Structure 1
Amino acid sequence: MSNEIPNLNLLAVFAAVMEQGSLSKAAEHLATNQSTISTALSRLKKETGKELFVRSGRGVVPTAYASNLFTQIQPSVQQLSQVFHSLKDFDPGRSTRKFVMTAPEHLQWLLLNHFENKGNKNISLEVFDQADDDETLYHGLLTQKFDVMVDILPPNHPNIESIHLFDGEFVIACRQGHPRIKGALSEAQYMSETHAVLERTRDKMRSLAHYTDIDTSKRKVAYHGKSLFNNLLMCSQSDFITVVPLSMALQFEKQLQLQVFKPPFNYKKVSNYLIWLKQLNHDPSHRWFRTELVEAAKRIETQMLNAL
């Protein structure tokens, strides 16, 4: 092993490969090519005198030495990254930047519309659907595919930060010409109707089960959808009923000619959290982006309060 401390650039490349999980993703993350990444790893291997990665299928996996090294250098590499990010200028009136995030379906258009109306058209927003399962929910954030994410549950991860944005209502929707529901809805009627439900679990619980104590398993379900909009569309063309966040119902109530009701049973509001990597806390552009999302959330919350 060389007596000199390895070049800090080599350690930064090594950390990127460990975080991204592959040489190609690390190259994309560092805005370079895979050959440069491979050369840097070869140099670090020579300086440490240790094997860092072994091939497995089409990718590579870290050795025990590499895993131990990463554990020791990660906090320092992240701290240095924060320092350099904090020195960068960001002028929202002139800068060019595309922010990328993932958000629940009921907020996607509202957030896109907020950024579409910003004065600087060189700043844009790209929104992705959320992952289908809890296990991969934070993968895009940890690999920095996304700048931030919004979720209905707070995170539990040492490298992730979050703040509470707002608590939103959820409502029950059906078509205006429903033969049995006309201007009012009782709990008994809710349980007796046929439902379109969101086929998504959080913490191994069905979505609605997080927010009420009623036995949702006794509902008659005709349609299991993975999209809130699909459920609303299905109900607008049938006698089904569905549960959606109020922010989603307000977007399509008129267009789909829906009736919207507050739940006729006890329930908890739907919380929304803004989530990001701690290492980006002091990045000027990221801080600006988070502030904008907080402002957008305040507008959404005000709109919902006025609708109740």
Structure 2
Amino acid sequence: MDYNLLQAFMKVYEYMSFTKASEELDISQAAVSQKIKKLETQLDKQLFVKKGRGIKATSYAEHMMSKLEPAARLVKEALEKEQFKVYVNETLVYDLNVDALLVDSPKSEEQIIEDLRSRRADIAVDFITAQDASMVYEVISEEPVLVIASGAHPRVKGGISHKDYYEEQHIALQTKRNNSDLINLITVDPKPRNVVYRSNSIASQMVYTMNSDCLSLIPERMKSVAEKMGLQVFEAPFPIQKIPFSMVYHRNFLKDESHKMLREKIKAQLER
């Protein structure tokens, strides 16, 4: 069987897109489509079906890919040094130094899981609550949460009471879990706050805090960065749970030695 047909199949499967596969293979979309049709004719099996505006793999294609993927990985390793792609939460990336491509995690945790499932990423290290039976979840860090305020805040100096905390304006950090505010996920009895800005990034949240009279929450790991920015950092004036950061990867990688070595390095550098 022509390897070029299998290569086209694997790229279409990887991206679930004829367009993206053609860009990756540097051939026309029509050429990719022809290769898939030719392969389907040889196999006498349909490999992809339409799903909305996109496509999805048939059960036969899923089975076929499960057999081809290990072989393709061996070929890739023989031809070039493999570089794993790791999604990382911005809280953790500053402490991570590994031989891998580090990429900011997608905003949606469902997208993170989908990318791990389709091999568009090899590992994700983030606050992930979505469960998938094909994934392995390892909690590697539980981060305490602290309150930050501008060093020039007119009312907050070195600490704050429970009452005063809720009288101030706030910046809310939206998590990847259904766009929920972080505080609603880690406090037992969250109370309404006067939120004036919602941020998807800890970095932008800290900059906004530095230049305003608002309060916000950060993981303890970011304390040194906050202090370098001249922010006040102190304990929360109410019970608050730690943020569990997990390392998530596909079960197919459990016995992959190079993947296992990377996982061990990540754990060694981030585990708390």
Alpha carbons of structure 1 residues 297 and 261: separation in structure 2 relative to 1, 3 Å? same
How far residue 26 of structure 1 moved from its aligned partner, in angstroms, is 4.4
Quote the offset at 1:158 in angstroms: 2.9
1:281-296 aligned at under 5 Å gives the runs 281-296=254-269
Q: TM-score, normalised by structure 2?
A: 0.82
Could you tell me which of 231, 240, 243 is aligned with 2:214? 240
Aligned CA-pair RMSD:
3.3
Unaligned runs of 5+ residues in structure 2 are none
Q: CA deviation at 1:40?
A: 4.3
Partner SS state of residue 94, structure 2: helix
Please report the TM-score for the alignment, with normalisation by the length of structure 1. 0.73
Q: Pairwise mapping of residues 81-92 of structure 1 onto structure 2 (< 5 A)?
A: 84=74
Tell me how many residue pairs correspond in the alignment: 269
> Partners of 2:204 and 2:49 in 1: how far apart?
45
Alignment partner of 1:219 out of 180, 183, 193: 193
- Give 1:33 deviation, angstroms: 4.6
Equivalent pair of 2:45/2:60 in contact (CA under 8 Å): no
Cα 1:53/1:168, change in 2 over 3 Å: closer
Partner of 2:205: 231
Structure 1 residues 179 and 126, CA gap change in structure 2 (3 angstroms) = same
CA contact (8 A) 1:154 1:273 kept: no
Give the structure 2 partner of residue 264 of structure 1.
237
Shift of 1:219: 0.8
Give the SS at the match of 1:164: strand
Whole-angstrom distance in 2 between the partners of 1:159 and 1:45? 27
**Of 91, 97, 103, which aligns to 1:128?**
103
Per the alignment, in what secondary structure is the counterpart of residue 152 of structure 2?
A: coil
- Evaluate the alpha carbon distance shift between residue 158 and residue 37 of structure 1 in structure 2; reply closer, same or farther with a 3 A threshold: farther
The aligned amino acid for 2:154 is: P
Q: Once the 2 structures are TM-superposed, how far is the Cα of residue 37 of structure 1 from its aligned partner?
A: 5.0
Q: Is residue 60 of structure 2 the alignment partner of residue 69 of structure 1? A: yes
8 Å contact 2:116–2:123 — kept in the other structure? Answer: yes
Aligned counterparts of 2:174 and 2:129: Cα–Cα separation in 1: 21
CA displacement at 1:265 relative to structure 2: 1.0
Within a 5 Å distance, the mapping from 1:99-118 to structure 2 comes to 99-111=84-96, 114-115=97-98
Q: Contact 2:126 / 2:245 at 8 angstroms: preserved in 1?
A: yes
Q: 1:61 to 1:194 in 2, by over 3 A?
A: closer
Give 1:192's match in structure 2, choosing from 139, 152, 167. 167
Given that 1:12 and 1:77 are in contact with CA atoms closer than 8 Å, whether structure 2 keeps it comes out as: no
SS of 1:44's equivalent in the other structure is: helix
CA contact (8 A) 1:174 1:241 kept: yes
Contact conserved, 1:164 with 1:274, CA < 8 A, in 2? yes
Q: Distance in 2 between matches of 1:68 and 1:262?
A: 52
Change (3 A) 1:189 1:106: same
d(CA) in 2 for partners of 1:135, 1:196: 25
**Could you tell me which amino acid in structure 1 is paired with residue 55 of structure 2?**
V
Q: Cα distance, 1:97 vs. partner?
A: 5.0
Residue 110 of structure 1: SS of its match in structure 2? coil
Are positions 1:169 and 2:144 aligned together? yes
SS at match of 1:202: coil
1:142 and 1:12 map into 2 onto residues whose CA distance is 19
SS at match of 1:137: helix
Distance 1:231 1:97 in 2: 36
Residue 135 (structure 2) aligns with: 160
Q: State percent identity of aligned pairs.
A: 23
* Matched residue, 1:277: 250
**Cα distance change on mapping 1:288 and 1:69 into 2, 3 Å:** same
1:41 aligns with one of 36, 39, 43: 36
SS in structure 1 at match of 2:95? helix
The separation in 2 between residues aligned to 1:201 and 1:133, in whole angstroms, is 5
